[in-house]
Amino acid sequence: MASIGYHASHEQFTPLDLLNWARAAEEAGFDCTMSSDHLAPWSERQGQSGFAWAWLGAALQATERKFGLVTVPCGWRYHPVITAQAAATLAQMFPRRLAWLALGTGEALNEHVVGGAWPGKAERNARLREAVDVIRELFAGRTVTRDAPIAVSEARLYTLPETPPALIAAALTPETAEGAGEWADGLITVNQSPEKLAAIAQAFKRGGGDGKPLCLQVHVSYARSDEEARRNAFDQWRSNALSAFQSETLRTPGDIETATSGVRPEDLDAYVRISSDPGRHLAWIEEDIAAGFDEIYLHNVGRNQLEFIGVFGRTVLPRVRASRPATE
């Protein structure tokens, strides 16, 4: 049975607003919540970036369902030992509710602040793979010492949960997905064309991920009119038109503004599902479920969060559940 979740976008909204909206989403019938983890927003118009780990403690206390977090444990903002300790602490307080950490190689936007040159993709991949091993060893209660590419000296976690969160891979390309198939407990990617999503899913399975959960973050823009929905998408999420290389290497919101200065509102259909029709959004979700995604997290990119939560809770989520096979 596919789960439909709410995405809490720290780049766009204050932690207090997101706390209230996570509660509202749960009450409206969303099955789970996914949180971003940013130091800087993608644009000055977005204007926020609260500390996701602090927010998660409050959000888990204020709600009852499961959460996932997209984070980067590769030794810049977060050393993997600290990532492991933070996750273990939350999982001990809220058993089985921090369901997964989606681990990625990061963006300079968030990580460059610690200084030094931003490494290339190969080095970042190696650091991620090492970080995953370190976190798993710590979750198992072992003492860890490593030299490179991330130094760890006699680290051990003394507070451990009964069940640690799954470590899933965040991937935007088939190449990254295939490389993660062996080590990751699952995969999360972002809405693209059906052909590109199928290629990513197949690559993950080919690399060793067959039978593991597939998660999808979907950028949508819902509003009362198509025109308003498009304005919202253009104002808040034109950064999604960046290439993967640009999104990983640009260092400031100003750099991103410059790189996306030529993006037009009509260009966003390739990146954001824009519609005022709940039925159209339902059809998109049903296509995602048919494509094999187990968890689908909806990120309404506009600032009209309560409107989105209310409309989807009343008109979309019940129809998703009604369309599920009786055997689920």
pLDDT in tens, 77-107: 999 999 999 999 999 999 999 999 999 999 9
Task: Give the domain 3-322 fold.
Answer: TIM Barrel (3.20.20)
What CA–CA distance (Å, rounded) separates 182 from 207?
Answer: 6
pTM of the model: 0.96
46-71: pLDDT as tens digits: 999 999 999 999 999 999 999 999 99
Q: Is the pLDDT of residue 324 over 90?
A: no
d(CA 302, CA 312): 14
38, 112, 219, 299: the catalytic one is 38
CA distance 27 to 223: 21
How wide is the angle at C-alpha 106 spanned by C-alphas 222 and 235, nearest 5°?
30
Q: Assign 163 to helix, strand or coil.
A: coil
Task: Write down the pLDDT at residue 234.
Answer: 98
- Check: CB of residue 6 under 8 Å from CB of residue 21: yes
Told to judge if 11 belongs to the known catalytic residues of this protein, a careful annotator would answer: no
d(CA 147, CA 168): 24
Backbone angles phi, psi at 190, to 5 degrees: -120, 150
Cα angle 242-245-250, degrees, rounded to a multiple of 5: 75
Q: What is the pLDDT of residues 188-239, one digit of tens each?
A: 999 999 999 999 999 999 999 999 999 999 999 999 999 999 999 999 999 9
Q: How far apart are CA 28 and CA 311, in angstroms?
A: 9
Count of C-beta atoms within a 10 Å radius of residue 11? 23
Q: Please tell me the predicted confidence (pLDDT) of residue 255.
A: 98
pLDDT in tens, 238-291: 999 999 899 999 999 999 999 999 999 999 999 999 999 999 999 999 999 999
Question: Is 38 noted as a catalytic residue in this protein?
Answer: yes
Q: What is the pLDDT of residue 231?
A: 98
What are the extents of the domains in the chain? 3-322
d(CA 244, CA 107): 10
> Could you say which of 107, 137, 178, 295 is catalytic?
107
Cβ neighbours, 10 Å, residue 129: 18
Question: Helix, strand or coil for residue 152?
Answer: strand
Instruction: Count other Cβ atoms within 10 Å, centred on residue 160.
Output: 18
pLDDT single digits (tens) 120-176 = 999 999 999 999 999 999 999 999 999 999 999 999 999 999 999 999 999 999 999
